[in-house]
Chain A
Amino acid sequence: AQSVAQPEDQVNVAEGNPLTVKCTYSVSGNPYLFWYVQYPNRGLQFLLKYITGDNLVKGSYGFEAEFNKSQTSFHLKKPSALVSDSALYFCAVRASGSARQLTFGSGTQLTVLP
Chain B
Amino acid sequence: ETGVTQTPRHLVMGMTNKKSLKCEQHLGHNAMYWYKQSAKKPLELMFVYSLEERVENNSVPSRFSPECPNSSHLFLHLHTLQPEDSALYLCASSQVLPGAANPGYEQYFGPGTRLTVT
Chain A residue nearest to B99 in the complex (CB): A99
Chain A residue nearest to B50 in the complex (CB): A100
Asked if residues A43 and B45 are in contact (CB atoms below 8 Å), the reply is: no
Asked if residues A32 and B104 are in contact (CB atoms below 8 Å), the reply is: yes
Q: How far is the CB of A59 from chain B (nearest CB, A)?
A: 11
Asked if residues B104 and A51 are in contact (CB atoms below 8 Å), the reply is: yes
User: What separation, in Å, do the CA atoms of A97 and B106 have in the docked complex?
Assistant: 15
Asked if residues A49 and B90 are in contact (CB atoms below 8 Å), the reply is: no
Question: Which residues from chain A contact B107 at a C-beta distance below 8 Å?
Answer: 46, 102
Partner of B43, one of A45, A95, A98, A104: A104
Size bracket, chain B contacts = 20 to 34
Does A44 lie at the interface of the complex (its beta carbon under 8 Å from any beta carbon of B)?
A: yes
- The number of A-B residue pairs with CB atoms under 8 Å apart is 63
Q: How far is the CB of A111 from chain B (nearest CB, A)?
A: 15
User: What separation, in Å, do the CA atoms of A51 and B103 have in the docked complex?
Assistant: 9
Chain A residue nearest to B111 in the complex (CB): A43
Does A68 lie at the interface of the complex (its beta carbon under 8 Å from any beta carbon of B)?
A: no
Asked if residues B110 and A104 are in contact (CB atoms below 8 Å), the reply is: no
User: What separation, in Å, do the CA atoms of A34 and B56 have in the docked complex?
Assistant: 21
Does A41 lie at the interface of the complex (its beta carbon under 8 Å from any beta carbon of B)?
A: yes
User: What separation, in Å, do the CA atoms of A103 and B111 have in the docked complex?
Assistant: 19
Asked if residues B42 and A104 are in contact (CB atoms below 8 Å), the reply is: yes
A34-B106 CB under 8 A given contacts A99-B96, A106-B41, A106-B42: yes
Asked if residues B109 and A44 are in contact (CB atoms below 8 Å), the reply is: yes
Question: Which residues from chain B contact A45 at a C-beta distance below 8 Å?
Answer: 2, 109
Partner of A107, one of B40, B99, B106, B110: B40
Interface pairs (9), CB distance under 8 Å: A32-B103, A34-B106, A41-B111, A45-B2, A90-B43, A94-B104, A97-B100, A101-B56, A105-B42
Residues in A lying within 8 Å of B, measured CB to CB: 4, 9, 32, 34, 36, 41-46, 49, 51, 90, 94-107
Residues in B lying within 8 Å of A, measured CB to CB: 2, 4, 6, 31, 40-43, 45, 48, 50, 55-56, 90, 92, 96, 99-100, 103-104, 106-112
Question: Which 3 residue pairs of A and B lie closest in terms of their CB atoms, listed nearest first?
Answer: A99-B100, A43-B109, A51-B104
